[in-house]
């Protein structure tokens, strides 16, 4: 295997083990090379020092945990292998220009400081555009689920399918456009979990005669960045992770308060499918530039 292939495999392995001990001894043993050779090969292939990259990725993961859970700062610091809250705070402030406590409390979520995972080869930015939406009135059904941060990708995919199925089971036909509105909050019950509210919605005109027991939903007007996805339904969640983990930092955007908006354009036979096989989705995030 060439050097790029070796480092590509190593990057994938590192990403799944950021909360495990990753001393140079451990990493070089995994790679099967001496510490000296591995450090040189990693720098030659990626342009980054391996130790600095691991620390930056750990701090980026901890930033997500700060924003999306209520776990104590010390617990997050220890999970990502910092030996004390003081050491973690110093490293965090150096990367994000804010202490962990201020980062957690900030009303907006700036992508500044997030270190995207390295990808070898050219990264193709998904199609995106900035647009300003007026205040929009919808009607929908809100459901919720709770999960650990590490489980959110699998849960979001499964819950989205379940909620669609329940929502569409009450419609005489598949509407031409379907909204999914996503709002995560730290769980009030367990500090290491998220409570996620997901609203399946339609415009009032589309909902007329379609769905019973809906409630009004108001989408806040303002600026959004819209990313376009078209592909297998099973790939949507990975697409959203790429949007937040890579695209938002690369575009240096700040997420302001508001709901993430999913706009789906279902296939005509989507109602009878166990899960959407092919999706067209516009994913909108409220932002401030």
Q: Which residues of 167-177 are buried (b: 16+ CB within 10 A; e: fewer)?
A: bbeebeeebee
- Predicted pLDDT at 273: 52
Residues 279 and 231 sit within 8 Å (Cβ to Cβ): yes
Query: Can you list the domains of the chain with their CATH numbers?
Result: 3-105 (1.10.10.60), 128-288 (3.20.80.10)
Q: What is the pLDDT of residue 274?
A: 52
| pLDDT at site 151 | 75
Res 1: pLDDT: 59
Low-confidence ranges of the chain (pLDDT < 70): 1, 153, 170-172, 209-212, 267-277
pLDDT of residue 146: 86
Yes or no: say if 151 and 184 are a contact pair by the CB < 8 Å rule.
no
SS3 sequence, 228-262? EEEEEHHHHHHHHHHHHHHHHHHCCCEECCCCEEE
């Amino acid at each position: 295997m060439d050097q790029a292939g070796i480092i590509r495999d190593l990057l994938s392995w590192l990403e799944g083990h950021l909360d495990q001990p990753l001393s140079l001894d451990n990493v070089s043993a995994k790679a099967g090379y001496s510490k000296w050779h591995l450090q040189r090969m990693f720098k030659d292939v990626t342009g980054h020092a391996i130790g600095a990259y691991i620390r930056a990725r750990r701090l980026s993961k901890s930033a997500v945990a700060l924003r999306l859970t209520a776990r104590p700062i010390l617990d997050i610091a220890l999970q990502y292998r910092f030996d004390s809250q003081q050491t973690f705070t110093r490293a965090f402030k150096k990367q994000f220009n804010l202490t962990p406590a201020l980062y957690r409390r900030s009303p907006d979520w700036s992508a500044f400081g997030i270190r995207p995972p390295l990808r070898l080869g050219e990264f193709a930015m998904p199609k995106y555009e900035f647009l300003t939406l007026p205040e929009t009135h919808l009607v929908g059904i809100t459901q919720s689920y709770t999960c650990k941060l590490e489980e959110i990708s699998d849960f979001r995919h499964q819950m989205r399918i379940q909620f669609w199925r329940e929502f569409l089971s009450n419609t005489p036909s598949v509407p031409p456009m379907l909204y999914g509105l996503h709002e995560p909050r730290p769980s009030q019950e367990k500090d290491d979990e998220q409570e996620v509210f997901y609203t399946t919605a339609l415009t009032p005109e589309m909902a007329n005669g379609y769905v019973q027991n809906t409630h009004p939903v108001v989408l806040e007007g303002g600026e959004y960045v819209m990313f376009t996805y078209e592909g297998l339904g099973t790939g949507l969640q990975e697409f959203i992770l790429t949007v937040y983990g890579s695209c938002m930092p690369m575009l240096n955007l700040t997420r302001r308060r508001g709901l993430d908006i999913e706009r789906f354009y279902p296939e005509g036979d989507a109602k009878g499918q166990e899960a959407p096989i092919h999706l067209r989705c516009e994913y909108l995030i409220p932002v401030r530039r």
